[in-house]
Amino acid sequence: MQKELTKTLVFQLDIDEGDPLLLSEAFLESRRAFNETLRLDREGRDWGEIEDTVAKDANLVQNTAQQVVSKAQDALENYYDNDDWGMPWYHHDEFPLPMNYGEGYNLFLKDNGTVRFRISAKPYKQVKGELRGSPDQFNRLKTAMTDDGWRVGTAEAMQKNGRFELHVTVTYEQATVRSKTESDTVVGVDINEDCVALAAFTDDTIEDSVVIDFPEIKEERHRFFTMRKRMQKHGQTAFNDQYRDKEQRFVHDQLHKVSRLVVEWSQRFDRPVIVFEDLKGMRDDIEYGTRMNRRLHSLPFTKLRDFISYKSAWTGIPSDDVEPAYTSQRCPRTECRHTTRGNRHKKRFKCQLCGFQDHSDRKAAVCVVQEWFKKQHENVPALNTLPQVRKWELRRQASGPVDGPTVTQHTDRGHHADGVAGVSD
């Protein structure tokens, strides 16, 4: 199967031709065009008309201006579709400059191995210089510039911590992902708002399982949600986008780390396929008291699933979906399969018919695997023994920044069924 994959590479800009102030002015102009799009939308103007007016008036390269307008319209559309983050606010902070390759910006590979850039900050006004970055980022960029199958895409110029940066997207057009039916190991994934549980099976043998806890995502989302509401109530809209960006960055960052752990863990096994529940709506078997709970759950779920299948595809690992079908309520023992809401009490699963007990999310991951075997018309693994539940926890270091997670491991004891006792690994 062929799949298209995109990555963002980050470089610093070492400007040696043209006035760096031109770039700063372009950021301001880009922000103005973004905010103007939001403002005209609030006035109820037609989107086609907004696009024409704003893009024409902006003192930017034409398709750069168009990209800014579509960014603002994407934000609005996102809001009108699901109201997940609230109405988009006017930007007061630095705003990036989006550009098309070969138009708003260009890159030149030099004989000595360096890469020169040219950015059209304004029509006919350019800044030029050399890219700086890690060898890893340069290798990827050079591959994208020279190899068939790769292409360089849009980029964003921005200012971060007083330095100019260029974020370049590169796309690999033909990553080969193995067919999911040619898999030897099935990794079932159960995503929750505070953890993800994984269970790997080869035919009817459980190879391993783990629960990765990420309690801070839920905590942070609650905190930001409350803060945002309070600020909105007091009309402090200026701070709002900063908090929202901070929250999004934090959640994004944490979910990336979790997804990396999931893919690394899956790579331990022979020819794995990663299987998710296909949750179009919300799970039918969890009580959602409030709309807020639904929101809190839905974001990690879809984002994490996207990150995992994306990262696994880079390593050639396929992913698949199964129908949810009460995976969290059903007893996983093939001779029992008793399904009732009462089987589950938060993180503890206890079958009311046969007495089977387990960590409820690990068990749900096992049920996902069983569903997958069923979908392939293969024998559903009979559960005679399950290993002890191993747990990893993703946390920030107390004093450190967001990108210093600690993964701690421990084994959760005392969750074993009578007669189906766990075997320690």
Cα angle value 369/370/374 (rounded, 5°): 120
Q: Which is nearer to Zn ion, 223 or 348 (CB)?
A: 348
Q: Which is nearer to Zn ion, 136 or 418 (CB)?
A: 418
109 φ/ψ angles, rounded to the nearest 5 degrees: -85, 120
* 351 touches Zn ion by CB under 5 A: yes
What are the Cα distances from residue 49, in Å, to 40, 69, 75, 378? 10, 11, 17, 56
Q: Which is nearer to Zn ion, 342 or 400 (CB)?
A: 342
* 356 touches Zn ion by CB under 5 A: yes
* 87 touches Zn ion by CB under 5 A: no
Kind of pairing, strands 357-359 and 348-350?
antiparallel
Minimum distance, C-beta of residue 12 to Zn ion, in the bound complex (Å) = 59
Minimum distance, C-beta of residue 366 to Zn ion, in the bound complex (Å) = 13
Residue span binding Zn ion (CB under 5 A) among the ranges 81-89, 145-153, 261-269, 328-336:
328-336
Judged by CB under 5 A, the number of residues near Zn ion is 8
- Interface with Zn ion (CB under 5 A), residue from 338, 341, 350, 395: 338
371 φ/ψ angles, rounded to the nearest 5 degrees: -60, -40
Cα dihedral 181/187/191/197 (nearest 10): 170
CA distance 123 to 57: 12
Residue span binding Zn ion (CB under 5 A) among the ranges 39-47, 91-99, 332-340, 368-376:
332-340
CA distance 42 to 237: 15
Residue span binding Zn ion (CB under 5 A) among the ranges 84-92, 122-130, 133-141, 345-353:
345-353
- Yes or no: say if 207 and 269 are a contact pair by the CB < 8 Å rule: yes
What are the Cα distances from residue 299, in Å, to 84, 197, 212, 220, 261? 8, 17, 17, 13, 19
Minimum distance, C-beta of residue 333 to Zn ion, in the bound complex (Å) = 5
Q: Which is nearer to Zn ion, 63 or 334 (CB)?
A: 334
- Interface with Zn ion (CB under 5 A), residue from 331, 364, 386, 394: 331
Q: Which residues bind Zn ion (CB under 5 A)?
A: 331, 333, 336, 338, 351, 353-354, 356
